[in-house]
């Protein structure tokens, strides 16, 4: 059977770097900074782009290429460029296409560091950014100007799990000649494929669900070959290269991505369902709960709800701190997408640099708790949260 007929789970496992003469079954590590050539003419031709070959691991590397190829197979992308972290992927996906005087339109509900990049640093290079409310997509066209070049969004958003119709935004973007850039970190390609819905670029923090065990940093930008070539030209000069070792780890992790995301989602849905009836909880947010405002959109463009559950404590900030301190099993850490469940308080950590007004505008209340639901038994996850909620009430 030809690979074009394989399911994504099969393609990601069977897409691999070509074997060496040893014909190894598991792909080896290529821990080298540079690559050699048999003669001067071959070296000249490679540097002149007349012949394809590896030059330097800042540009490309067999382990990195395998990771990129596997991500392309999952996302339905023509090409990709892997970076050292998720934020370097976001930065590269913007700066490869925008220049002084350009305008970026972004959803307001985005990761805190992305917000800082857009609000603090892009203006230093003469790039202005305006934000729209994902709950009101009709705002988008009103904010587009002649100098607008790109629309950027996260769906589901971090941390409030807002959802927006990617296909609808893609139609708006393309009607105005704009690129649509989608951060697909929370859903992963196992649950959502933005390119199939019209996105031009997709970015990931591979540090999260793609790695899945909190081991290594990584990021990737995916899209059409012509677009990724621009990202490549920027990054080979700027140097945010993914290390071969990290690429090797991430590539191995992709082989279990679908299985992991199915179980993360199943655990998260069950946890969200149970938390809805807890007396200390004012509101639960999860894309596949019917109470979610964009439930219908989530069901249309995602195959499952993902592994993040957010809930708001009635006791606000004070109860939130008591709750975190009372947890016995869940980890308190800045990461997410781990086999181990993680609890965090976005208002005082990932989104602390936003003003209170900015946080409230995207639903980050003082009592909001974000749970990255792991692969422990859901009864054990809920039991730890339940006992912490009980202790935090007093």
pLDDT tens readout for residues 211-256 = 999 999 999 999 999 999 999 999 999 999 999 999 999 999 999 9
pLDDT of residue 316: 87
Q: What is the pLDDT of residues 360-377, one digit of tens each?
A: 777 788 889 999 999 999
Domain ranges of the chain: 3-30+61-254, 257-392
The better pLDDT of the pair 354, 299 is held by 299
Cβ 67 vs Cβ 82: under 8 Å? yes
- Please state, as a whole number, how many other Cβ atoms lie within 10 Å of the Cβ of residue 362: 23
pLDDT of residue 355: 80
pLDDT of residue 2: 54
Mean pLDDT of the chain: 94
Would you say the C-alpha torsion 17, 22, 23, 27 has a positive or negative sign?
A: negative
- Strands of 103-107's sheet, edge to edge? 79-83, 219-223, 201-205, 179-183, 148-154, 103-107, 128-132
Domain 3-30+61-254: give its CATH architecture: 3-Layer(aba) Sandwich (3.40)
pLDDT of residue 353: 75
Mean pLDDT of 61-75: 96
Domain 257-392 fold: 3.90.1150
Q: In this structure, are strands 368-372 and 281-285 parallel, antiparallel, or unpaired?
A: unpaired
Mean pLDDT of 91-110: 97
pLDDT of residue 1: 46
């Amino acid at each position: 059977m030809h690979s074009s007929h394989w399911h994504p789970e099969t393609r990601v496992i069977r897409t691999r770097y070509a074997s060496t003469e040893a014909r190894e079954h598991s792909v080896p590590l290529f821990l080298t900074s540079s690559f050699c050539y048999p003669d001067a003419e071959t070296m000249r031709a490679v540097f002149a782009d007349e012949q394809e070959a590896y030059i330097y691991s800042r540009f490309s590397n067999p382990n990195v290429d395998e990771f990129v190829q596997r991500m392309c197979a999952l996302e339905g992308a023509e090409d990709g460029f892997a970076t050292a972290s998720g934020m370097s992927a976001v930065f590269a996906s913007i700066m490869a296409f925008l220049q002084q005087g350009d305008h970026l339109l972004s959803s307001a509900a985005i990761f805190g560091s992305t917000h800082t990049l857009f609000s603090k640093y892009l203006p230093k290079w003469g790039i202005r950014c305006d934000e729209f409310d994902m709950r009101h997509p009709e705002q988008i066209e009103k904010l587009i100007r002649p100098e607008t070049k790109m629309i950027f969004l996260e769906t589901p958003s971090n941390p409030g799990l807002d959802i927006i119709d990617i296909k609808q935004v893609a139609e708006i973007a393309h009607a105005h000649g704009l690129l649509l850039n989608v951060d697909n970190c929370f859903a992963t390609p196992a649950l959502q494929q933005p390119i199939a819905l019209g996105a031009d670029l997709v970015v990931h923090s591979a540090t999260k669900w793609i790695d899945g065990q909190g081991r290594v940093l990584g990021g990737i930008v995916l899209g059409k070959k012509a677009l990724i070539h621009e990202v490549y030209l920027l990054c080979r000069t700027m140097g945010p290269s993914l290390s071969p070792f990290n690429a090797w780890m991430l590539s191995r992790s992709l082989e279990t991505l679908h299985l992991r995301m199915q179980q993360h989602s199943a655990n998260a849905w069950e946890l969200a369902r149970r938390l809805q009836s807890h007396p200390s909880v004012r509101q639960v947010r999860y894309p596949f709960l019917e109470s979610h405002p964009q439930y219908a959109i989530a069901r249309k463009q995602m195959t499952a709800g993902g592994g993040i559950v957010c809930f708001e404590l009635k006791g606000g900030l004070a109860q939130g701190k008591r709750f975190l301190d009372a947890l016995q099993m869940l980890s308190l850490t800045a990461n997410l997408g781990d086999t181990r469940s993680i609890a965090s308080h976005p208002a005082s950590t990932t989104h602390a640099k936003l003003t209170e007004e900015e946080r409230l505008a995207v639903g980050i209340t003082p009592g909001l708790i974000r749970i990255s639901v792991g692969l422990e038994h859901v009864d054990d996850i809920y039991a730890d949260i339940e006992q912490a909620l009980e202790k935090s009430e007093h």
